[in-house]
């Protein structure tokens, strides 16, 4: 089970690192053109903030466990990313972007799995 948790954690970290980095480095127009239509209606500062939260969440999924410095933060990082996905689901539902909600639900489920696993089944602390 610990191996499965690590695999899911690393996959999540890579996804959120990529998505967050894109939001931090690309202009809003480029994000919209790449399929993030919601970015058209959101302040550029908010887009950067979401990107920063995603990058920090990705780092928080792996770095504490790898460095053995505050490894309990992994579960909290997963919790934060689950909250981000809940917000994304609400945004996409309001915009009637139904196919994107499926991706958000999958990422939410994976985040909740890591959260559950690191809080209870296989905690680092």
Residue-level pLDDT at 75: 97
User: How many Cα atoms sit within 13 Å of 6 on the Cβ side?
Assistant: 9
DSSP codes of every residue in 21-74: HHHHHS-HHHHHHTT-GGGGGS-HHHHHHHHHHHHHHHHHHHHHHHHTSSTTHH
Q: What residue spans define the domains of the chain?
A: 2-121
The region, left, alpha or beta by phi > 0 then psi within -120 to 50, assigned to residue 30 is alpha
Residue-level pLDDT at 1: 85
Residue-level pLDDT at 125: 55
Residue-level pLDDT at 42: 94
Q: What is the pTM of this model?
A: 0.93
Separation of alpha carbons 8 and 113, rounded Å: 8
Average pLDDT of each block of 10 consecutive residues along the chain (125 residues)? 95 99 97 95 96 99 95 97 98 94 98 96 73
DSSP codes of every residue in 73-117: HHHHHHHHHHHHHHHHHHHHHHTT-HHHHHHHHHHHHHHHHHHHI
DSSP codes of every residue in 60-77: HHHHHHHHTSSTTHHHHH
28: Cβ contacts below 8 Å, ≥ 6 apart: 39, 40, 42, 44, 47
């Amino acid at each position: 089970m610990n191996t499965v948790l690590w695999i899911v954690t690393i996959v999540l970290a890579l996804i959120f690192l990529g998505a967050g980095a894109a939001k931090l480095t690309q202009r809003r127009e480029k994000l919209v053109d790449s399929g993030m239509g919601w970015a058209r209606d959101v302040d550029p500062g908010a887009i950067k903030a979401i990107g920063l939260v995603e990058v920090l969440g990705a780092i928080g999924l792996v770095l504490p466990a790898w460095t053995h410095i505050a490894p309990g933060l992994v579960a909290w990082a997963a919790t934060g990313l689950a909250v981000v996905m809940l917000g994304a689901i609400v945004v996409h539902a309001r915009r009637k972007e139904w196919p994107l909600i499926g991706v958000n639900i999958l990422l939410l489920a994976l985040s909740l799995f890591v959260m559950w696993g690191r809080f209870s089944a296989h905690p680092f602390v």
